[in-house]
Structure 1
Amino acid sequence: MQTYKPIIGITMGDAAGVGPEIILKSFEHKVVHETSRSFVIGDASILERAKKFTGSTKAIRRIKHPREAQFDPAVIDCLDLALLPDTLPIGEVSAEAGNAAFQYLAKAIALANDKEIDAICTAPLNKEALQKGGHLYPGHTEILAELTGTTDYSMMLSAPNLKVIHVTTHVGIIDAINMITPERVLHVIHLAHETLTKAGIASPKIAVCGINPHAGENGLFGYGEEAEKIVPAVEKAQAEGIDVQGPLPADTLFFRTVRGDFDIVVAMYHDQGHGPVKVLGLESGVNITVGLPIIRTSVDHGTAFDIAGTGKADEKSLVEALRQAVELAPKK
């Protein structure tokens, strides 16, 4: 039975996208109030504007520090950075919104580093807008790593019956293959094992994808990447007592995992891991950065500029991200 409700800072992401709308919709779910003390880090004026699109009747209460939040179910507390006008164009890439998205996240990280909040849950940002705003990062994960001083981390995606952790993420495929080393693969296996063990799985079953079709077919495909880059890591992890298998062919591995053969898949590169998770439904996927000193979960979809301002955006991924933030947050 939950006795402590963790304090979770929800960053607004790119204010020109669907972030403000899915945040408002999420606060309509009783489970958010029953399991957490959540507040928004962003622009209160943008939330006020988004009420017109969602039909939300909740009052927006401006605060300057989490200690001022009242966590009243009828009110949404917003740590108001007041960076953007409510006339910000909707559904368009802008440097202003990109910079604001960075500032919201930086504020949340500072609060988490200072133990003022227990976890961060992020609405989506737009990578083009982020970089136009002067912040040259591929995405949330790399910002979190730099601002927490973390060098070894990984992205984990979670969907019903499927968890995937990545050896590489936001790099081109040729660069990804060059970045895969036995040391990096072993580290990600360790992260997968530690994360699931902390979540209550005593001996998680871990599967490791190959790089080439059919996991190289014993050298038939590729140039021996599996033998060079993956096999040594798997063998070392097995010697440590970790229940891990691989390299295994990616074309059947995700089906086997959804069926229940494994608890988590170690994917070698971005699309290898993201594609199967997103097939299961954008509305239910959650992005979790593991290896950080703080807890961060996120929706597993983008800013959806094409439907921003229409009220059509689905909040289920954010609600699930909040649920997992609660689950992973330090227990007090």
Structure 2
Amino acid sequence: MEMAIVMAREAQMDWIIHLDTDELLHPAGAREYSLRRLLADVDESVDTVIFPNYESAIESDDIRDPFTEVSMFKKNYDHVAKETYFGLYKEATRGNPNYFLTYGNGKSAARVQDHLRPNGAHRWNNYMKTPKEIKFEDAAVLHYTYTKFSDLTSRRDRCGCKPTKEDVKRCFMLEFDRAAFIIASTATEEEMRTWYKDRVVWTDKELTLKLIRRGLLTRIYAPMIIIQGLRESNVFSDALAAVGKSPSDTPSASVSLSPQQNNSTLQSRVGQSMDVTGRRLLTLQEELAPPPLSPPSLEDEIFL
């Protein structure tokens, strides 16, 4: 991410944000549903902005393309009334460890500036000052988590932990991820399918309608319509084809560098950008980067 900051500065980017491949930005509240407009309207004194995350709530166990098939999401604690959140917590959780299956502390975008640094995947910081941070009241990150049944086995296949409650703590920070790994490692496919339907898929229509009416669940169609339109107009295939071209096929006024040279150059620039503040860092006590955190639980109600 340090390299990404250098690249953003060289490209004269105004903002930078860390998103995973199962996430989309939802610039609700902005004119023309524009992320560019949303960020342009942020006061110049603000250094970072938090996008609370919404979590996908799938309604079938045969999703193939989450971005174009999923329209229902569970809203973040920051975007719902406290009384509603805790009053319907057990119904919304449906026996799972937490309100969200995975993280609940959102993602942050940072204004590209001197001394910017990543502070984990969820926040940004600055080597020389405490950033001024605000939280969007409407915009959100849409997190499409466990949207496909195969997500159970893919997580299992990426980890070498033993399927025990103690050992999985080495690989997974969140309770649902741990439970999913254990079930994927010990159950038959039929048992996994049943567990997946009970824990992930929203099949109770009455409960779904109730939570939509109370504001915990919401329908968001804009991203799926945009993705479908881009796909039908061949934007994605054209972009992939362009990436696949050799340097000689692409006109350029600059000298092409090999991947090794590019990597070496970027690392050198990162080192140069950090050199000025490197000595200062030795005297600073940095806070730990915030990990993926679960949303508030019932035990947290008295503190909020």
Please report the TM-score for the alignment, with normalisation by the length of structure 1: 0.21
Question: Which protein has greater RCO, CA pairs closer than 8 Å, 6+ apart?
Answer: 2
Q: Which has the higher strand share?
A: 1
Could you state the TM-score of these two structures normalised by the residue count of structure 2?
Answer: 0.23
